[in-house]
Amino acid sequence: MPLTPRPRPRSQPDPSPHRLPHQPSPHRPGSSRRRLRSRISRHRKAALLASAVSVCLVAATAPAEPLGVGDRLFPYLGNPGYDVASYDLSLTYPGSNDKPLDAVTTIDAWTTADLEHLNLDFAHGTVRSVEVDGRPAGFAGAGEDLVVTPEHPLAKGGWTRITVRHTSDPVSGKDQEGGWVRTSDGLAMANQADAAHLVFPCNDHPSDKAMFTFRINVPNGYTAVANGLPAGADRIGGTTTWTYRTQHPMATELAQVSIGRSAVVRRDGPHGLPLRDVVPAADRKALEPWLAKTPDQVAWMESKVGRYPFETYGVLMAQASTGFELETQTLSLFEKQLFTEPGYPKWYIESIMVHELSHQWFGDSVTPRSWSDVWLNEGHATWYEALYAEETAQRPMEERMKAAYGASDRWREAGGPPARPKAPVPGQKISIFRPNIYDGAALALYALRQEIGRPAFERLERIWIREHRDATATTADFVRLASTVAGRDLSGFLEPWLYGEKTPPMPGHPDWKPTASAKAAEPHTRR
């Protein structure tokens, strides 16, 4: 995620009766380190609800209201009452990245409660119709939710299919940012932390992972690539429909669709892993030296934490100014400029590539159950980024961790401790991606390794990935597993490192002290 949040003033609901009201949504630092992703007052919520009622397109039995799963940092993100099994997202690109795409989103889900209404997160597009189990359903906007009223209430424990015909607008709404990224020749996605619902209706919270199918119809001459493996490219007349399917569940914030005049570069990784990179076609030759580094980087990560967890991997080098890189699942998003700007040292660029790659294990395969657990993503990605720089470029981790220790108290005061980041600044939801969840969280992992020793720490990392693969996990899960591996209760040791207002003493380094310099140990900027 970005470390330098972009200010975003609040927007007003769109009064149009055919458009959902939309509120500002953050961009993401991957769940990954981007270089650089509010609470609404009671008065504001009342205004939103009043507006939501005014845009009801089909009369409902009760006023539509926004819901959420109660995330501490994003209380209105996600929705209760159902568990999504799969998304089927069909997009038709008109050949211009400043015009809305026609879209159909089909959601298959299990109901976990009796439901008269079903809320989806969706805040930037025109909804044309909604069906539930093949029957027309009522729908209305409420805050950043699309509230669906099926013809008959849904019973707990049932299987349901919701089909939404809508547009997906690549031009940001007033005071909105995130979702679609407009590139020089098309589009890409950057949905972290809570911007997937600016692209398609969904249950936009990492606790509800699901399988994805993408069907992207583009004019001939464009190439479309998405998460997962290709499942066909059907050309009819002047257009081609590209289909991709994931083989592992994915959080909505990790979805990726690239549309452009692109080259897809293929090669084999370790044990035959199919690698595919997506680059501007004109830059393929110039970028090849960077693309060729991925197989060895995957092998390096596998030597640390075990087998790569997905069906494919690659990098998407977008001709766009995003200010961050992002670990979208199986296809990490990078600014092309990172690889062409002569001012960046080679070791630095490679370490950022490893940062995003390591997120495939930490954040994508093992996903945080709530956004307060995001340190498990960013702390680990920063850890392996620093370890790679130490082992391949002679950049000592100890020096980086000592500098981070000096700055840690300031980071905690400004952004909260690693496992309890402060809530987003009003209008700046991406402000949760602060130094405390990057180098500050990596510092807590360094302290843990100092406390239990390198062999136990490395064993913990492998077991963590194996036990929580394709699932979600919490900070408490990590503390419990660390205690099991160490053979003693580590909660008393880890709690001040993860939740304390002040940085505890570093085991083995009694000389490390907080520093007063505001310039000490500023972390690298990536998600």
* pLDDT tens, position by position, 278-319: 999 999 999 999 999 999 999 999 999 999 999 999 999 999
| Residue 107 confidence (pLDDT) above 50 | yes
Say how far apart CA 123 and CA 461 lie, in whole Å: 38
Q: What is the pLDDT of residue 62?
A: 55
Q: What is the pLDDT of residue 527?
A: 62
The confidence band for 124, taking pLDDT boundaries of 50, 70 and 90, is: very high
Say how far apart CA 200 and CA 489 lie, in whole Å: 44
Q: What is the pLDDT of residue 323?
A: 87
Q: What is the pLDDT of residue 278?
A: 98
The confidence band for 42, taking pLDDT boundaries of 50, 70 and 90, is: very low
Say what the pTM is: 0.88
Say how far apart CA 411 and CA 416 lie, in whole Å: 7
Say how far apart CA 519 and CA 486 lie, in whole Å: 36
On whether the CB atoms of residues 280 and 317 are closer than 8 A, the answer is: yes
pLDDT tens digit string along 356-381? 999 999 999 999 999 999 999 999 99
On whether the CB atoms of residues 228 and 330 are closer than 8 A, the answer is: yes
Question: To the nearest 10°, the Cα dihedral for 450, 453, 459, 463?
Answer: -40
Query: How does DSSP assign 211-266, residue by residue?
Result: EEEEEEEEETT-EEEESSEEEEEEEETTEEEEEEE-SS-B-GGG--EEEESEEEEE
pLDDT tens digit string along 166-209? 999 999 877 777 899 999 999 999 999 999 999 999 999 999 99
| Residue 223 confidence (pLDDT) above 80 | yes
On whether the CB atoms of residues 163 and 146 are closer than 8 A, the answer is: no
| Residue 18 confidence (pLDDT) above 60 | no
| Residue 33 confidence (pLDDT) above 50 | no
